[in-house]
A and B are shown apart, each in its own frame.
Chain A
Amino acid sequence: MRAGLAARARRRLPGVASVALVVLVMVVLFGPVLMLALFSFNDSSIISLPWEGFTMRWYEEAWNAGQARDAVLNSLLVAAVVATASLVLGTLAAWGLTRLRFAGRGLAAGLHGSVLVVPWLIIGVAGLIFFSELGVSLSLQTVGLMQLVVTFPLVVAIVSAGLVRFSRSQEEAAIDLGASQAQMLRHVVLPQIAPSLAAAGIFAFAWSFNNFEISFFTGGFDQTFPVWVFSILRQSENLPVVNAASTVIALAQVLAVFGAWLAIKRLSRRGGSGGNEAISELMTGAVR
């Protein structure tokens, strides 16, 4: 009896341990963020204890700061354009890399991968030098262009992973049954790589929206949200306002990604594979 209990406890140990590990990781990852979120309701201009009482003041101020709203709108605009452009171009490139045979295919794939590990700071500075050499004035357009440099390979990576998993003989089967290339893509390939496309789009959007380094160096007088945060943080009395604004943005993003995860899971199930792939799709994009 005792032995049975001990054995059962031992069998359950890995389960208990993994739950404990997940909780620990969550605390380390999200603890600081949650602390800041909490302090955004503190009626004090310094972010520290003691608790001075609950207030919505900082949220009101953030809402009324015209610059903040402009910055958020700028970021949304750039992110929408960058995500769309990188999704279209990246998907085409992924198709080429996985389906066509051409000299230098491996090299091209390697180049895409290596861009993903170049620090954004360097890409930002490179963009600055590049545009000033060309005499192009800096604006949201130059920001978008340089962000494309990093979101494009991201999309290529996620979508190629989806395409590689996809069985080639299905494409031949579709053609064999009378489909044109376009019909084959439309009816056989797209429905099955939809989860990859969704994940790629979401992360291209998030990377663009959250990017500071590239936007800072190539934005000129146009501020995106992270750049606005940086600029205003130089005065410490602004801290709670930034804190409030960031909390809203962070919450919106978490909700967006969570919603996307649910949607991708649905898509994956329709695509015949389990929801597990949705997680792997999401994690691929979340590496940065």
Chain B
Amino acid sequence: MPPRVNEAIEKRTFAVLVDNEPGVLARVVGLFSARGYNIESLTVAETDKAAHASRITIVTSGTPLILEQIRAQLDRMVSIRTVQDVSSDPLGIERELSLIKVRGTGEQRAEALRVADIFRAKVIDTTHESFVFELTGASSKIDKFVNLMAPLGLVEMSRTGVLSLTRGVD
């Protein structure tokens, strides 16, 4: 499908419940690469041992037509049980965890700590000239934190990618 100029690119999070079996992640990733879809982040872990189920959360982007295709393409894979569009679900929750290392001394170091405090980031490691912060939240919050830390000596970070769930009893 040639991209339609008048269709804007949107971001979308899909929660995909899969049979936990060898190769299932390769199938999902292979689908995205074979059909030229974007993967912005992807997380996977077993979530129900008894039911042999794993949950994959994929953040992707595309035109509405492409996003509809991605969903349909996922849905028809034999190893995939359900596909849920978390972003379009008003009850959808998305969170990400990040570890961020900042190096600095003096006023810079103090400022980093103040910013971390405002964001409720946890200090999980410290030396005289560095911190490792742990921050959980929406990806946009982590992005903001990272932007603020950049001039304060950000040296390294690791992010999990988005995890998602829906609010309520179901």
Q: Do A and B come from one complex?
A: no
